[in-house]
Structure 1
Amino acid sequence: MKKIVINGGRPLQGEVTISGAKNSVVALIPAIILADEVVTLDGVPDISDVASLIDIMEVMGAKVKRYEDSLEIDPSQVKNMPMPYGKINSLRASYYFYGSLLGRFGQATVGLPGGCDLGPRPIDLHLKAFEAMGAKMSYEGNAMHLATDQAGLHGAVIYMDTVSVGATINTMLAAVKAKGRTIIENAAREPEIIDVATLLNNMGAHIRGAGTDIITIEGVDKLHGTRHQVIPDRIEAGTYIALAAAVGKGIQINNVLYEHLEGFLAKLEEMGVRMTVSEDSVYVEEQANLKAINIKTAPYPGFATDLQQPLTPLLLKAKGQGTIIDTIYEKRVNHVAELAKMSGQIKTDKNKIIYQGPNDLQGAAVKATDLRAGAALVIAGLLAQGQTQISNIEFILRGYSNIIEKLTQLGADIRLVED
């Protein structure tokens, strides 16, 4: 077991560069199965989810080479084989293998997805889309089996009952080689969807409308190799911007796409955070006199559910009372009890988070309950007086590339230790 140990209360200063988007790359790697030739991804983050996906691809027969932040994958020898156990069960994003394997082979047997426990996260919308395109679903032990008849997948008009990033991407993966036209209505609009569509189009797919609520896909017979730059991680960027506002004496965050963070940055401005937004960076000044605000998460371009937890420690510095309501994941409140251990005036009322500030946080032994809760505890530990020890850090390492090194370069007293 490993822990992150932080001696807090030190102001941070300097520059940090944001890595490629976790929520893109976990879909981009399975998407490469659809190609017949080598595909290279640049800007791949150094996170455990990527390592797990590489292991899965190699088990399936892909040849993978890694060069610093680039990933070269030759999927030409990938075999359609059952994948019910192992790395599959640790990843939420493993469900993207349903769409990519269906698209290439017309069938898939994949274990049920894992990931963070954020409450009900059904994949019924994915299955509805696959069935509309001609796939039949059955269970084989702890795995789900999807298969088509000899005619294979065909185009369909698919209405998403709720906006879902995962279901939108998975439907695109299955549809790019399906016969005819597929139309996804009420599609999610997140930047990661545009990123996946860009890769697929560069491989020879015909996808229009990504980034809008109607996506049209004309099926093609083959997809070829390409080279693709992964977009910057907007959630990592938001996390470091919140961290800079909480404990910084002037921090510049590089490789940021402002248009991906407009809802988040608007809320920081409402708090009184002083920052300068440039074309591809954000400079955050040392802060004073922040005021409490209310936050309600929403699908993109609203306030991202993934950013409400990393923002919470900064909110605890603000004067007054505020609330956080997460409309996407009802169990995204598990960080509250851990922050309360650090003397934070914060509680839950059903699914609403209520906080009062300002607070003088104190170091404590706390536990990361999911990826973004872990990020919140890292920021809280940097803010707090004394030592903070964070356990369950496997969650944090799933999504934040080189977090210890990046924070150390900013002046943090932070280290990874064996328990």
Structure 2
Amino acid sequence: MDSIEIKGGVPLHGEVRISGAKNAALPILASSLLVEGTCTFENVPRLKDIDSILLLLEDLGCSVTRQGEGEVAVDAQGLNRTEAAYDLVRKMRASILVLGPLVARLGRARVSLPGGCAIGARPVDLHLKGLEAMGARIRLHHGYVEAEAHRLKGADICFDMPTVGGTENLMMAASLADGETILRNAAREPEIVALADVLNAMGASVQGAGTSKIIIQGVSSLKPVSTTIIPDRIEAGTFLVAGALTGGDVTVRDCNPDHFRAVIDKLRATGASVETGPDWTRVRGPEVIQSVDITTQPYPGFPTDMQAQFMVLLSMAEGTSVISETIFENRFIHVSELQRMGAAISLHAGNTAKIRGVKELSGAPVMASDLRASASLILAGLVATNTTVVHRVYHLDRGYEAIEEKFSRLGARIRRIR
């Protein structure tokens, strides 16, 4: 099992190109199941989660081809299976995204309940309630979701809370449903807009993506499409925090600053200098990092996927900061590892962390528990004295493309130990 070794204390300088967004690529690749023909996707990152969903698509009968750097073609003409098996689904929660497309196109689906990061309950009941409202018969049997419908019917669906995966699944299902579907209290993330753009390019009628009310007019069939995956806003935010944390000067290229305004605002609040352009963002670290309070919220609020990275930044701040995690109830697993490196963090009421800034962190062997926690431990290693070794980095490889190579190009002393 790979580890990553970091020798800290080097300010980062230079430019880094941001990869395609994993959280946009996964639903967009799943949407190819709706089409009888070949869809081509560019700027697809090379990640474990991408490999997992491509294997799943192949197992369902699709032909998958990697045609070049970041280009993937999926031909779903031969789609002939309706079961997404446990061995393929257990590695990644996003596998549930094949449920809606399979029911919409083939009339049935049997999908294993998914696995993924250990960051708390992320139930799929909102997906299932929505499909039931659209006329699907749902049964949970031996760890599988079984759904069946001759043809899905349009419905007026109000989510109990914004759900990114649920919004994506039902958008795809509704695209081939009979009649109009309205999704209320829908998720508003850029990845939702990206999926809607792809569905519309396929011939669907999706309006309102990026707002809390999405209206889909079902059509009888969809056509193949060629599209480019949007840049990863969380990867961009991670490199910006690294630049500020190390007192460096880092420019991220091929990004969309409008997608992470909440992150930029909080970086500025810590004293960092942040400049933006149409497809780039530059950060320069402050002489003294200022404490700030953060509450994670659904988009366009501060993203839960940046909470762990900011916790490291605030561990080096002057004063005391408070982070309130409102999205996942078990997303402070990285705290104990940061404490081993000298961070002064205390947990309160299960979902609040109080961070008292310290003068330095000390390198140590640490264990990654999930994707974003892995990134936070890399960041801590970049600023710590001595050497840090992050173990179990397979989590990292699920969501960051060649992260050690990118940090190396910025001057970090970092290497992978295989």
- Structure 2 length-normalised TM: 0.97
Q: Deviations over 1:72-102 (max 9, x none)?
A: 1111111123223212111110110111111
- Within 2, Cα distance between the matches of 1:390 and 1:109? 37
Q: Secondary structure at the match of 2:282?
A: strand
CA distance in structure 2 between the aligned counterparts of 1:400 and 1:359, rounded to whole angstroms: 29
Please state whether the residue corresponding to 2:152 is helix, strand or coil. coil
The answer to whether the Cα contact below 8 Å between 2:297 and 2:327 also exists between their aligned partners in 1 is yes
The DSSP-based 3-state class of the residue aligned with 1:127 is: helix
Distance (whole Å) between structure 1 residues aligned to residue 359 and residue 371 of structure 2: 24
After superposition, the CA RMSD in angstroms is 1.1
Alpha-carbon shift at residue 311 of structure 1 (Å)? 1.5
Q: What is the distance in 2 between the residues matched to 1:89 and 1:373?
A: 20
Tell me which residue corresponds to 1:320: 319
Q: In structure 2, what is the equivalent of residue 16 of structure 1?
A: 16
Q: What is the DSSP-based 3-state SS (H/G/I as helix, E as strand, rest coil) of the residue aligned with 2:395? A: helix
SS at structure 1 position matched to 2:196? helix
Maintained 8 Å contact 1:257/1:279: yes
- Please list, as runs of the form range in 1=range in 2, the aligned pairs for 1:160-179 lying within 5 A after superposition: 160-179=159-178
Aligned residues of 2:82 and 2:102 also touching (Cα < 8 A): no
Correspondence for 2:205: 206
Provide, for residues 247-268 of structure 1, a one-character-per-residue CA deviation record: whole Å limited to 9, x for no partner: 2531111112111111111111
Name the CA distance, whole Å, in 1 between partners of 2:235 and 2:188: 19
Structure 1 residues 193 and 29: alpha-carbon distance in aligned structure 2, compared to 1, 3 A threshold: same
Task: Look up the match of 1:257.
Answer: 256
Any conservation in 2 of the 1:13–1:248 contact (CA below 8 Å)? no
Other-structure match for 2:157 = 158
Residue aligned with 1:300, SS: coil
Q: Which amino acid aligns with 1:335?
A: H
SS in structure 1 of the partner of residue 206 of structure 2:
strand
Match of 1:362, SS state, is coil
Partner of residue 390, structure 2:
390
Does residue 379 in structure 1 map to residue 386 in structure 2? no
Give 1:270 shift: 1.2
Q: Partners in 1 of 2:228 and 2:346 — Cα distance? A: 41
Q: Which residue of 2 aligns with 1:78?
A: 79
Unaligned runs of 5+ in 1: none
In structure 1, distance between residues paired with 2:185 and 2:28? 22
Alignment of 1:245-284 (within 5 A): 245-284=244-283
Partner of 1:369: 369
Output one character per residue of 1:257-307: Cα deviation in whole Å (capped at 9) or x when no partner.
111111111111111111211121111124212210100011111101111
Corresponding residue for residue 140 of structure 1? 141
Per-residue deviation at 1:184?
Answer: 0.5
Corresponding pairs, count: 416
Preserved CA contact (<8 Å) 1:82 1:110: yes
> Deviations 1:344-364 (Å, cap 9, x if unpaired)?
111211221111113301111
Alignment of 1:398-417 (within 5 A): 398-417=398-417
Aligned partner of 1:230 in structure 2 is 229
Counterparts of 1:81 and 1:168, CA distance in 2: 21
Q: CA deviation at 1:198?
A: 0.6
C-alpha distance in structure 2 between counterparts of 1:330 and 1:140, whole Å: 27
Aligned partner of 1:79: which letter?
N
Letter in 2 for 1:272: G
Secondary structure of the structure 2 residue equivalent to 1:323: strand
User: 5+ unaligned residues in a row in structure 2: which ranges?
Assistant: none
Paired-residue identity, %: 40
Q: Which residue of structure 1 aligns with residue 120 of structure 2?
A: 119
Amino acid at match of 1:357: G
Query: Could you tell me how far apart the structure 2 residues matched to 1:278 and 1:217 are?
Result: 33
C-alpha contact 2:371 2:396 (8 A) present in aligned 1: yes
Alignment partner, residue 57 of structure 2: 57
